[in-house]
Structure 1
């Protein structure tokens, strides 16, 4: 009898042991899988039980949680400014988040360790815990001016504006955009239908063209090639002379490098300033060949190109000058073609670095984060990203970029009473397709408050697409908004 009881007891002990092992396995090992399982409706309901924090910019509320009064789905996310800010805010969907909603999710939903004290106080006072509020660096006037100007004529493209001295992002627009409100309803079927419609759209409204895709930058990249040349010899300046043939013979190939439209560049020998003002290709191709790949690529890296992955806090696609090939490829890459690929954010950083006397500040979107009672959790701390060029080189480039606006291809960017610096770009794409139109700029040149990059995508700028004709006027409206003109 005793042996039977012992066997039963041992069997029970073994089963309890296995049960405890299974519980620990489920809670410790499989917890994340079970939490993410689409059949787990508890998480679905829990997502809408939390009052997420607001996302704001200036006096604008960009995202907020609204009490629906429902016992099932208590709070739903609303985006009062819709399409204008969607590439920044992203959306909060039944099973996922995107962009800022994703990057700061644990703060917005109140689960971040940074909110532990706030949660403890709420527990003691029997308050319902709320998420933290995220305030952005975006200037609403600049954002809305960019959205209106770029989107008014149905163009596809992107614009990024930065405060040169801090790196604060003042505007980030991607066109076409989308309305995040239908993607944030507490109804999976409706959300999936709305999302699939956007995902299947050939114009790719869900794509943030400002940071998620790279493009050949065309002649806007010539400021980097010029920077490399000026850094190689401190006796060079805006009035230094360079060869500027109508066509540049490229080594080891039957092809050559013409100026835009096959035009001549002066009389065949011009000043550096004239070459930049008229955006001649041949002087820059020759400069790059003479300097060599390493010199131009190293200069590009000093502006942040090809370095560590950047987050703002959303991840940014990597820009790249391109691999080392031959001298002909180098000449093409030096004028923003070949394998040269840049995001609009990266080109805005280049403009901002030149404006800020050679120092590129790390770009950022979050101004501050505060708990539901207003207690600050995190504040912006501007950080130097790279020192790209010397102050002397920066001053020379500033002078030449002012000349581009006053005397060259960017006359459409002039603002009465403001000294504007800029560089246009027209980037060829596939044969038979229209080019991308680019413009980088900063103002006022003597004390820059804004630097920006604007790209209008191939096919939406028209047959006569060029940085000066298509992009510069749009950029002008954004600079005027920042400067209060």
Structure 2
């Protein structure tokens, strides 16, 4: 019997594993696993390191940002050793007005003096008990001294304190005093804001009642707890009041944007002083009827019925909301000192009722505005729709008069088109004049007899509480009489008088008293 020949594995197609290098392959596999573990560990370490570095960077940036944003608060903190050191080494710098008068200064004992007393109490402020005004918000600058090294040697030899840096303001002492005297003369509570519309410089800012800044420490408890007078509140920036008929400026801004020809096309027949729509009625406080009116007459007469119809039936509600936001209602203002935000009832959530919409039209209801904000809107009218950022600090300088910081005029925003501003200017002229041929008897026609300047403006009577009391408003601007109606606006003035009745009763005479004195003397 023949034996079968063994078949070659290769020939048979059967794969026979090669076991000759098995030990070496196992070693290589182990090395691969170790290297893979090392790679993963290295990646994890790198990831952790990067994450830690990023976290540290974020924390550092956040800390630096907080320190920059809140540097004044951090500096003024009683636990800040640097603050205490500067107080011992430097004499607090002075506050100087725009016309070169010293408003606050310290002696060699760092005792603080305020030559103008109550007149600048809210603007210049005070520095004890937490401070206020310029004294608080520029404390770091005034307690720092940037005099030359040579001067430091001189003061060291005399064992004297280094003089701190001085803060120069835009405020004019004469205008400020005129405003103080006008309010104080009638023992009024209220505010006056006067600005230069082409630059945004604040020339005067007064709030009454005030206080004596040199006596703050002695009278602190009284000042802090006197809720009825609230003398520590700067009513010009922090007081929020219903704007009354000054809000009709805002109504007209929206109307003139929707209908540029409204000066010619608008008409309203005020038959009995009352307007009724959707079973809701509104009327002028004295029920006066004006008859047939165009826009100029309705604005000059401050006809509530005409503007109630305008807002409830003619204006686009959504566009009006957008305009209010652009005019900075329920938004922050371009102003670097403390202030309260204004509010419009139209911007509240939900559908607005006819009654409330009528209240919006005449600046009543829950709509509220500060005198500063109303002045800013008026500035834009005077400046072709462009709002310049209102500012009070002109510069910070060393005791050797070297400029460290300079605050120059800066445009904040274009609030509306120049053509709208031009038409508004025409409307505001009618408020301050008498034009019997066209049926215009402005509510501020007392200005009709001003000799040295031409006034443009709007009055407001703002009811509050149960409607028995009213705040009086006037806001407007002036041009030099020699330049005529088309002249460049020079001053923008806003006056608010609490519990004073109609705007024409107290606010207009106060505004005229201030402006008359200024134009007679300057």
TM range (shorter): 0.7 to 0.9
Equivalence for 1:21: none
Indicate yes or no: 2:464 matched with 1:425: no
Structure 1 residues 381, 238: closer, same or farther in 2, change over 3 A?
A: farther
Equivalence for 2:250: 224
The answer for unaligned runs of 5 or more in structure 2 is 1-72, 435-441, 480-484
Equivalence for 1:51: 91
Equivalence for 2:287: 262
Equivalence for 2:470: 435
Q: Deviations over 1:189-213 (max 9, x none)?
A: xx2x411111222211111100012
CA contact (8 A) 2:452 2:519 kept: no
Q: RMSD value over aligned CA atoms?
A: 2.5
Write the mapping of 1:396-411 to structure 2, written as runs, cut at 5 A: 396-407=423-434, 408-411=442-445
CA contact (8 A) 1:450 1:482 kept: no
> How many residues of Structure 1 are paired with residues of Structure 2 in the alignment?
423
CA contact (8 A) 1:238 1:400 kept: no
How far apart in 1 are the matches of 2:197 and 2:76?
A: 44
Equivalent of 2:388 in 361, 370, 383: 361
Indicate yes or no: 2:233 matched with 1:207: yes
How far apart in 2 are the matches of 1:403 and 1:309?
A: 29
CA contact (8 A) 1:78 1:181 kept: yes
How far apart in 1 are the matches of 2:167 and 2:334?
A: 20
Structure 1 residues 126, 153: closer, same or farther in 2, change over 3 A?
A: closer
How far apart in 2 are the matches of 1:147 and 1:37?
A: 34
The alpha carbon displacement at 1:48 in A equals 5.9
The alpha carbon displacement at 1:345 in A equals 0.4
SS at 1:237 equivalent: helix
Structure 1 residues 33, 393: closer, same or farther in 2, change over 3 A?
A: closer
SS at 2:122 equivalent: helix
The answer for unaligned runs of 5 or more in structure 1 is 1-31, 68-73, 184-190
How far apart in 2 are the matches of 1:295 and 1:316?
A: 27
CA contact (8 A) 2:197 2:388 kept: yes
How far apart in 2 are the matches of 1:274 and 1:329?
A: 25
Indicate yes or no: 2:317 matched with 1:293: yes
Equivalence for 1:480: 516
Equivalence for 2:378: 351
Structure 1 residues 310, 195: closer, same or farther in 2, change over 3 A?
A: farther
Equivalent of 1:456 in 497, 500, 511: 497
Q: Deviations over 1:100-143 (max 9, x none)?
A: 111111101107xxx4xx47665576655332111111111111
CA contact (8 A) 2:142 2:167 kept: yes
How far apart in 2 are the matches of 1:238 and 1:33?
A: 58
CA contact (8 A) 2:476 2:492 kept: yes
CA contact (8 A) 2:223 2:230 kept: yes
How far apart in 2 are the matches of 1:418 and 1:449?
A: 10
Write the mapping of 1:152-163 to structure 2, written as runs, cut at 5 A: 152-163=185-196
How far apart in 2 are the matches of 1:354 and 1:42?
A: 46
Deviates more, 1:370-379 or 1:121-130: 121-130
CA contact (8 A) 2:170 2:392 kept: yes
Equivalence for 1:89: 124
Structure 1 residues 36, 220: closer, same or farther in 2, change over 3 A?
A: closer
The alpha carbon displacement at 1:418 in A equals 2.0
SS at 1:435 equivalent: strand
Equivalence for 2:421: 394
How far apart in 2 are the matches of 1:45 and 1:215?
A: 43
Q: Deviations over 1:131-181 (max 9, x none)?
A: 211111111111110000011111100010110101101110001110000
Equivalent of 1:305 in 305, 329, 332: 329
Equivalence for 2:37: none
Indicate yes or no: 2:412 matched with 1:385: yes
Equivalent of 1:282 in 286, 298, 305: 305
How far apart in 2 are the matches of 1:35 and 1:406?
A: 51
CA contact (8 A) 1:138 1:169 kept: yes
Equivalence for 1:370: 397
Q: Deviations over 1:312-356 (max 9, x none)?
A: x32111112223422321221121101110000011111111111
CA contact (8 A) 2:76 2:139 kept: no
Equivalence for 2:447: 413
SS at 1:425 equivalent: strand
Indicate yes or no: 2:113 matched with 1:78: yes
Indicate yes or no: 2:208 matched with 1:175: yes
Structure 1 residues 45, 388: closer, same or farther in 2, change over 3 A?
A: closer
